[in-house]
Structure 1
Amino acid sequence: MDAATARMRLESMLAELDRSIRVLRGDPLTGWDRSPADAGSVLTDTDRNQAMLEAATAQRRAVVAALTRLDEGVYGRCADCGMSVPEGRLEARPEAARCVQCQARRERRR
């Protein structure tokens, strides 16, 4: 993927993530008149919202890091082994910092 296409995709992802994070940080329950019987579903909604916010924030960090790598001229190189990240991986995950093998090793260590 060429640098211009990568930048365009990453900036688009960043804008979408920023919108999602703004929505998730809002209080969707404000103004709702819920009965005490709904307390369990409110907790479930809050937990789900928090999990989505954490995931979106982590992905946002990855996109910002990818934009930084692009600016530094190292985008498309694995952060661990230095080899090229396959084109297909970058197409699927433009924010990817590692080749498939290094990412798999990293995930197994967790």
Structure 2
Amino acid sequence: MSEPISDTFAQQLQHMRTELIAQIRAQRGGKVGRAQAALDPHEIQSGDWSQVDGERDLAQALDERETAALRAIDDALQRIAAGTYGLCVDCGADIPAARLHANPTALRCVPCQTRYEHDHPAVTPSL
């Protein structure tokens, strides 16, 4: 991938990273994670443990999803730095620019991603 195109994707990824971090901070109030906030003593005193457990589970799932998204962005930025960005990790072919614009963290070309999802059905797709 040419350097000007890589720079464009690097800027897009940096913007995504900044927005995601701002979103995480806003949701956490800058102090505690959602899982910790779900353990509000007032909520627990009300005796509705199932609601508290559900909120904590949801908060943990969201935290894991955001962490995975941030990791994917950082990994893509590392691939740009290494000069391997835009190459399918499975077959080595170029990932089309349109796919990268739609999903700048894509690891695979569409045929390899389709095979990967077929072979790993429990894995969340990264199309």
TM-score class, shorter-chain normalisation, is 0.7 to 0.9
Give the TM-score normalised by the residue count of structure 1: 0.85
Q: Which residue of 2 aligns with 1:72?
A: 82
Q: Which residue of 1 aligns with 2:124?
A: none
CA–CA distance in structure 2, aligned partners of residues 62 and 28 of structure 1: 26
Q: Give 3-state SS (helix, strand or coil) of 1:2's partner.
A: helix
1:95 to 100, 105, 109: 105
2:17 paired with 1:14: yes
Q: Which residue of 1 aligns with 2:50?
A: 40
For the aligned residues, what is the CA RMSD?
A: 2.1
2:7 paired with 1:4: yes
Q: Which residue of 2 aligns with 1:86?
A: 96
- Uncovered stretches (5+) of structure 1, i.e. residues with no partner: none
2:65 to 55, 58, 68: 55
Report if aligned partners of 1:20, 1:56 keep a CA contact under 8 Å in 2.
no
- Uncovered stretches (5+) of structure 2, i.e. residues with no partner: 121-127
Cα shift at 1:31 = 5.3
Cα shift at 1:20 = 4.0
Give the TM-score normalised by the residue count of structure 2: 0.74
Residue identity (%): 38
